[in-house]
Chain A
Amino acid sequence: MADERKTENLLPLELENIIQEQELAVADARSIDQIVGDLEKGVESYNKLKQVALKLTGPEDWVQLGKQPYLLESGAQKIAKAFGVAIFDVKVDIQWQEDPKGRYQLVMAKGKAFSRKLGSYVEDIGTCSQRDKFFAIENEKLKPIEDVDFANVIKKAVTNLYGRLIKRVVGLMGVSWEDLDKAGIKPGAKVDFKEKKPLSPEAKKIGELILEMAGGDNEAAKKMLQSISEFQTKDGKSHYASSVTELSELWAKKLLPKVQKAYFDWKTASEPEEGPDDRS
């Protein structure tokens, strides 16, 4: 992750080229003022180019990942067409990795790209593994690796590579919401990927009690949670949680006594009633 951030903070390639050219040219007779002036012009034309690139995309091409906008493949392809991008020499390397949960495979896709319009060239890597949350997690549990479709894992690594190559070759890493605003792309297009927070002890307890009441049946537990958590707001709209992960800390705290009561009632009802001892 740290490496990724480091890469994203690098100067856009075109700018790097300009700076390198300027550095080589220090030996000539230009004054420092002139060099700074040229650099400013370079930055200005880069910013203009960036605006054009962003304008080629639409709100549907962006989602919010973490706190930053993230360009989807659809948007990357629109930009690539304008800048005459070619991706080539794509190779895939598969490595075995190990973590406390066992062995799994990591796919590293490597490739190169150049832009005919910008004259820029980059090499990059895209990765995906059998631990990827989209393929490996089912009902909040890690699937055995043999159940994770490996073709999808390779495809995602290559798709990630293509996205990175296009963005880097046209100098579009690290786009901000402000950049999108300037390009007329409204932040209304943001899609929040909920960051996974650890469950609060209350939410965890609710999950355990409900699952027990549902006899270990996940689907029945989901319905039970929906029913027990349902409440209406002033406008008459109904709200409920389908998974304990949807419960905020406060909501879980409020809900726990209700679930505990339901659990107590269920437990009492399911215990055999005391009656006359008929064994005699």
Chain B
Amino acid sequence: MIDLNAKVQEYLKTKIYNSPRWSNRASDAGHPCLRYLVFSRTKNELRSLPTVDLQAIFEEGNLHEAGELRILQDAGFKIIEQQRAFEWKEKELSGHIDAIIVDEGGKKYPLEIKSCSPNGFRTIQKSEALDLVSAKQYWLRKYPAQIILYMLMGGYEEGILWFKEKVLGQRKQMNVSLNDPAVLEYGESILKKLELVNQMVHRGEEPPVERIDECQGCPFEKTACFPGLDFGEGMDIIDDGEYLLKLDRLDELKEAKEEYEDIWSEIREKFQAKNAIIGAKWKVESRKQERTEYRIPEELKKQYARKKEIWILSISRI
């Protein structure tokens, strides 16, 4: 019998390679680590190659990109200049934009297509472009810089990040505008960082090792930087009979709690605005009550948004 998987694995292996980089890449420019950006140009041979599994994810991304371009065209949009190469010599910067999309009025927008997992998409759904810079998933953090640099290199005021969730096919459009001062400021910070990278590359300098979130899984982590690993404070190993029993009981009640909530929702829906006696045993009453609702415009809400630290407790059986 023919072995499809073996052949596909062999093919994927041929797609894994490393090539020298003579310039900064727009797709990487949002990376927060200077050392990563410098090494990408000076020691790229030490970049560890992706595994076949990771390469399969990259290929999946390419397939989704092609599919999205087709669906946008089928939906009536004009797509031009697919995989157009950009270069900004003074900044030693280059990149390939997925496409330029043209609206009914003939206005052009650089378009960057990203496919993502359901988990990543949840973050994307509740984010605006610049929120991604501090996203939990570090690969999302580089997207804003990428589209902003394409806009700056191509002279476009506005650009689009187009996301597709790979399982259910949900989509989200994120508009990025250079008229937004925050976007402009972020774009300038990226350019300044790239200038610093260029200076270090020309002087043959290596930025010092500084351990950050992005280190774990970075292609230079175990080949050029060796920042070590810190797994934190550790866990207390406690032999406490009382809490052992309470945790066991909590686990037993979990199923009952879920069932309780399901039945409660069903009953609430069924008896909304009704009063009833059921089976001569239960009395169900529905009372109308007035509540004050505050509908605060998003813009106003944002002004009062503050980040605060909270502790999230999760319990799992080992």
Contact = CB atoms under 8 A, between A and B. Distances in A.
B234 A84 contact: yes
Interface string B278-318: 00000000000000000000000000000000000000001
A133 interface: no
A236 B237 CA distance: 54
A229 interface: no
Contact of A81 (B1, B226, B234): B234
A151 B48 contact: yes
Interface string A39-68: 000000000010010011000000000000
Interface residues of A, number: 33
A154 B234 contact: no
B318 A151 contact: no
A87 B228 CA distance: 5
B241 to A, nearest CB: 15
B49 A151 contact: yes
B222 A86 contact: no
Contacts of B236: 117
Contact of A82 (B223, B230, B235): B235
Q: How large is the interface on B (under 10, 10 to 19, 20 to 34, 35 or more residues)?
A: 20 to 34
A181 interface: no
B48 A90 contact: no
B233 interface: yes
Question: For chain B, what secondary structure do more than half of its interface residues adopt (helix, strand, loop), or is it mixed?
Answer: loop
A163 to B, nearest CB: 11
Interface string B220-262: 0011001111111111110000000000000000000000000
A91 B46 CA distance: 15
A117 B231 CA distance: 11
B47 interface: yes
A111 interface: yes
Given A149-B49, A151-B45, A91 B318 contact: no
A238 B1 contact: yes
B233 A116 contact: yes
Contacts of A172: none
Interface in A61-97: 77, 80-92
B222 A155 contact: yes
A49 B231 contact: no
Tell which of A77, A116, A155 has the most Cβ of chain B within 10 Å. Answer: A155
Interface in A110-148: 111, 115-117
B231 to A, nearest CB: 4
B271 to A, nearest CB: 45
Contacts of B230: 86-88
Contacts of A91: 226
Nearest to B235: A82
Contacts of B234: 81-85, 115-117
Contacts of A77: 231
B222 A158 contact: yes
Interface in A1-49: 49
A92 B226 contact: yes
B232 A81 contact: yes
A159 interface: yes
B233 A84 contact: yes
Contacts of A150: 45-46
Given A81-B234, A111-B228, A155-B223, 18 more contacts: A56-B318, A80-B231, A82-B235, A84-B232, A84-B233, A87-B230, A111-B226, A116-B234, A117-B235, A117-B237, A149-B18, A150-B45, A151-B46, A152-B49, A154-B46, A155-B222, A158-B222, A158-B226
11 contacts: A52-B237, A52-B318, A55-B318, A81-B232, A81-B235, A83-B231, A83-B234, A84-B235, A111-B228, A151-B46, A151-B49
Interface of B: 1, 18, 45-49, 219, 222-223, 226-237, 318
Nearest 3 pairs of A and B residues by beta carbon: A84-B234, A158-B222, A90-B226
